[in-house]
Structure 1
Amino acid sequence: MEVSAQLTGFYRKAGRDKRLRRPHLNLYMALLVQSRGGGAFRVNRKEVMAWARIRSRTTYHRCLRELDRWGYLYYLPSYDPSSKSLVCIRPLSKEGAATETAGDATVMKLGFSWN
């Protein structure tokens, strides 16, 4: 996934989405940086929270769940303290809608939902 195209798609979609607030935007940008341009990756919560300037774990987890539910990313939480949660940034088209790609089969195998 090309980062500039992803950012363009994200800002177009986010510009029309009245549900998004500052923590959602900051968290998405921090996750995009940590993803290094795409694919599923394990989240370093402390690092992402620092980059996103989110201090509360509750806010962090709420925003991740909402970004997943609203179609910006896939989020598979780990309830094991020794294991990191899994995130995959959804590819966004230039129109800002989530696009289905061949990589979606991999995402589904990892246990992500389409909701």
Structure 2
Amino acid sequence: MEPFPPLSGFYKAIAGDARICSTHISIYMALLQQWNINGGSNPVKIERAIIMKAAKINARQTYNRCMNQLHEFGYISYKPSANSSVKSIVVLKYCEIEK
């Protein structure tokens, strides 16, 4: 089976990072799925409700905290939208595909 570099890169990066918990991983996996659905291109436009559902997160506060921490820790670049009708923008650090 061929390895999936974006997934492998993320898990290698978090291996020694004690700040990362299961909620961060769950959100990152949901973001990775959106990246995959988007054809593997960065940045990814996301909807909070879709990411929360995929990550099995019910509290908006938890979502916001973890998204901001993933950004702060350098795993993603996150530009939240202040307008609910405009999607937020996320760049996943470990999802750069060489063409």
TM category (shorter chain) comes to 0.7 to 0.9
Runs of 4+ in 1 over 6 A off after TM superposition: none
- Structure 2 residue 34 is matched with structure 1 residue 34: yes
Tell me how far apart the structure 2 counterparts of residues 28 and 49 of structure 1 sit (CA, whole Å): 11
Q: Select the residue among 71, 74, 77 that pairs with 1:71.
A: 74
Q: What CA distance in whole angstroms lies between the structure 2 residues aligned with 1:91 and 1:38?
A: 12
Counterpart amino acid of 1:11?
Y
Is contact 2:10-2:94 (8 Å) kept?
no
Which is further off, 6-15 or 23-32? 6-15
Which residue in 1 is equivalent to 2:85?
82
Measured in 2, the distance between the counterparts of 1:7 and 1:55 equals 24
* Contact persistence 1:49–1:60 (CA under 8 A): yes
RMSD (Å), alpha carbons: 1.7
1: CA distance between counterparts of 2:76 and 2:54? 18
Of 59, 64, 75, the match for 1:61? 64
* TM-score relative to the length of structure 1: 0.73
Please tell me whether the aligned partners of residues 30 and 51 of structure 1 are also in contact (alpha carbons under 8 angstroms).
yes
Inter-partner Cα distance in structure 2 for 1:73 and 1:83: 19
Identity of aligned residues (%): 36
What is the correspondence of 1:1-115 to structure 2 with a 5 Å cutoff? 4-36=4-36, 37-91=40-94
Tell me how far 1:38 sits from its aligned partner.
Answer: 3.5
Give the counterpart letter for 2:58 in structure 1.
R
Query: Shift in Å at residue 91 of structure 1?
Result: 2.7
